[in-house]
Structure 1
Amino acid sequence: MSLPDAMAEIVDDFGALGDSDKVTLLLEFSRELPDLPEHLLEDAMEPVPECQSPVFLSVDASDPTSVRLHFSAPPEAPTTRGFASILHQGLDGASADEILAVPADFYHDLGLGSAVSPLRLRGMAGMLARIKGQVRAQTAGSGGPPTAP
Structure 2
Amino acid sequence: MIDSPFVIPDQPSAAEAIAHLHDELFLFDDWMDRYQFIIERGQCLPPYPDALKTEDRLVPGCQSRVWLEPIRHERKLYFAGASDAAIVAGLVALLLEVYSGRTPDEIRATPASFLKEWGLIGALSGNRGNGVAAMAERIQRFAAAA
TM above 0.5? yes
For the Cα contact (< 8 Å) 1:59–1:135, is it kept in 2?
A: no
Unmatched runs of 5 consecutive residues or more in structure 2: 1-12
Which has a greater percent of helix? 2
User: What's the counterpart of residue 129 of structure 2?
Assistant: 121
Give, in whole Å, the separation in 2 of the partners of 1:47 and 1:20.
28
User: What's the counterpart of residue 133 of structure 1?
Assistant: 141
Of 94, 97, 101 in structure 1, the residue corresponding to residue 102 of structure 2 is: 94
Q: CA RMSD for the aligned pairs?
A: 2.3
For the Cα contact (< 8 Å) 2:105–2:143, is it kept in 1?
A: no
TM-superposition CA deviations, 1:23-78 (whole Å, max 9, x none): 1111111211211258x6222752211110111111123533x211011212xx11
User: What's the counterpart of residue 82 of structure 2?
Assistant: 72
For the Cα contact (< 8 Å) 1:105–1:125, is it kept in 2?
A: no
User: What's the counterpart of residue 28 of structure 1?
Assistant: 40
Runs of 4+ aligned residues of structure 1 deviating over 3 Å after TM superposition are: none
- For residue 89 of structure 2, give the secondary structure of its aligned residue in structure 1: helix
- The alpha carbon displacement at 1:3 in A equals 4.1
For the Cα contact (< 8 Å) 1:56–1:71, is it kept in 2?
A: yes
> 1:44-55 counterparts in 2 under 5 A?
45-55=56-66
User: What's the counterpart of residue 70 of structure 2?
Assistant: 59
- For residue 54 of structure 2, give the secondary structure of its aligned residue in structure 1: helix
For the Cα contact (< 8 Å) 1:7–1:91, is it kept in 2?
A: no
User: What's the counterpart of residue 146 of structure 1?
Assistant: none
- For residue 120 of structure 2, give the secondary structure of its aligned residue in structure 1: coil
Give, in whole Å, the separation in 1 of the partners of 2:48 and 2:58.
14
User: TM-score, structure 1 length as denominator?
Assistant: 0.76
Worse-matched range after superposition: 51-60 or 108-117: 108-117
User: What's the counterpart of residue 145 of structure 1?
Assistant: none
Give, in whole Å, the separation in 1 of the partners of 2:122 and 2:134.
19
Q: How many residues in Structure 1 have an aligned counterpart in Structure 2?
A: 133
Change beyond 3 A, Cα 1:88–1:73:
same
Give, in whole Å, the separation in 2 of the partners of 1:122 and 1:110.
16
- The alpha carbon displacement at 1:9 in A equals 0.9
User: TM-score, structure 2 length as denominator?
Assistant: 0.77
